[in-house]
Amino acid sequence: MSNNMKRIASLIAIVVGVGPTAMAQQVPLTSYYFYNKFLYNPALAGVENYGQAYLIIRNQWGGIPDAPKTQAFTMDGPMRKKNIGIGVGLFNDQAGSFNITSGQVAYRYSINFNADQSLAFGMGLGFLNNRIDFNKLKAQDMSDPVIMNAYQQKTGFDANIGVNYKWKELNVGFSVPQVIANDLSFQSLQQLDKNVSYGLIRHFIINTNYSWDIKKDGVWFLEPTVLVRATPGTPLQYDVNAVINWKKKLWLGAMYRSAYAATFSVGMRLADQFVLGYSYDLVVNTYKTYMNGAHEVLLGYQFGGKSSDDPEIKKKFKEIDDKVKKNTDDIDSLGKETKKNRDDIDKNTEDIEKNTEDIDGSNDEIEQMKGRMQKFEDFMKSIQEGGKLGKGTGTTKVGDVYSFANVYFETNKWDIQGVNLDELNTLVTVLKENPSLKIEVAGHADERGTDSYNKWLSTKRSNAVVDYLKKQGVPASQLAIMGYGEAPGPLDENRRVEFKILSK
């Protein structure tokens, strides 16, 4: 065997491993997994309320010729049912004559225990194509038959599995890339006495991260992350990372990667959609003189929704929740007051009847009692027209908007038969008794679906209510139809119809 052939045989054994027992770190190494969490765990596909696409470009060890280079592209997002997500990933690793290209399609399903806790399961199915091209070698004897016939490629299929537990701002995940652990066997080269195989090895990855709002004002966040990799036959590896983040728009990070490097990162989010990041590995082990660190660039685009990480959006949702809670308390208080007033009316009615029978000629006192009763009846009418339908003032004016307490629709439905009709019947009575009253019937939809679809759906719901009112004898001249599309707030409260007084 020539010297070239011996060196090539040794190189093959080192890089791809001879036989099924060869072990190596095969999952692409990146630094920006703390931002693109789907990279290592399929259970995190589409966990955000929006879609996202990221491109990662990493060049390692600038001081070594033909050093490893990695490119990764991922895209993931939620389905219309928010507990389901999908994602795709493409990866390419190149080191000298060796090139590995892989891809996967991932699916996530989440079980939501409550508003704060969920458990997600994910699976990714994909392929791996491994290529060896010794034609790229610079050898002393370029006519060596091993070099001239040393291009081979093999493709195999594999799967990734993962699970992730979320409690408020804490995430704990576990994933197993290359769970099937196939072997890709290359044909024996000339004068090599055995086949060369590239064995896919199971990797075990545990990750945990937490987002801490330091002052609880949505401005400064501290986000620690710990990731542990375990690969049979190699030492345990771990990363400890900390990122300081300003309004989820600008961040600085530092990480220690065991027995390898200290990593520093910086990044920003532009126009709430575009992401740009850069990291640098400063090698700290005994080979730092030769490796010269690693550069990594992250380019990202977020689409199809608003980022749930945006502090301004979180603040608005909190304000809406506070208003909903206050309105609920007001409605409860109004209900208690209404019951008390009804009891008073019943008592006063009995008193009037008794006084009418007992008092002869006391017209002034009778008229006074009738006046008190009329005041209570007027108050009850204002409660029926205003308080029951969303107002606590007991008065109505042009421009007031009222929400039906029970007229909600199922997802993607506009059938009037599926809602409570008691309040619609009350509205029919009010409109018939006030022929000069004109209202706008406004339909709404939840945030799921496109803007055009939500606009169409909300208009269908408004039409359904108007059709019902017309069938009950309300003139069309008193009704105006409007569909507003998506409404803020909890999903099950957004699928509703409101009305606004246009004229009295």
What pLDDT does 397 receive?
Answer: 57
- Whole-number Å distance between alpha carbons of 305 and 355: 67
Query: Mapping DSSP to helix (H, G, I), strand (E, B) and coil, where does residue 233 land?
Result: coil
- Give how far Cα 154 sits from Cα of 87, 114, 129, Å: 25, 47, 6
Tokens representing 185 are 């066997």
Q: Smallest Cα–Cα separation from 12: which of 139, 143, 151? A: 151
Q: Is 78 exposed, middle or buried (0-12, 13-18, 19+ CB in 10 A)?
A: buried
Per-residue pLDDT tens listing for the chain (504 residues): 444 444 444 444 434 433 333 334 578 889 999 999 999 999 999 998 899 999 999 998 876 777 889 999 999 999 987 799 999 999 999 887 788 899 999 999 999 999 899 999 999 999 988 888 766 666 666 555 555 556 678 888 889 999 999 999 999 999 999 998 877 766 555 545 555 666 788 999 999 999 999 998 889 999 999 999 999 888 999 999 999 999 989 999 999 999 889 999 999 999 889 999 999 999 888 877 777 789 999 999 999 865 444 555 556 666 787 788 788 888 888 878 888 888 888 888 877 777 666 666 566 666 655 654 554 355 345 434 443 444 333 345 566 666 665 567 777 788 776 666 777 888 888 888 888 888 888 888 888 778 888 889 889 888 988 998 899 999 988 889 888 888 776 776 777 788 888 887
CA-to-CA separations, 354 to 308, 347, 366, 369, in angstroms, rounded: 64, 11, 11, 11
CATH number of this structure's domain 396-504, picked from the four choices 3.30.160.40, 1.10.3720.10, 3.30.1330.60, 1.10.540.10: 3.30.1330.60
Query: For 3-305, which CATH class?
Result: mainly beta
The 438-445 sheet, strands edge to edge = 401-408, 496-503, 438-445, 479-486
Alpha helices in 292-310 (DSSP H): none
Indicate whether this model's pTM tops 0.85: no
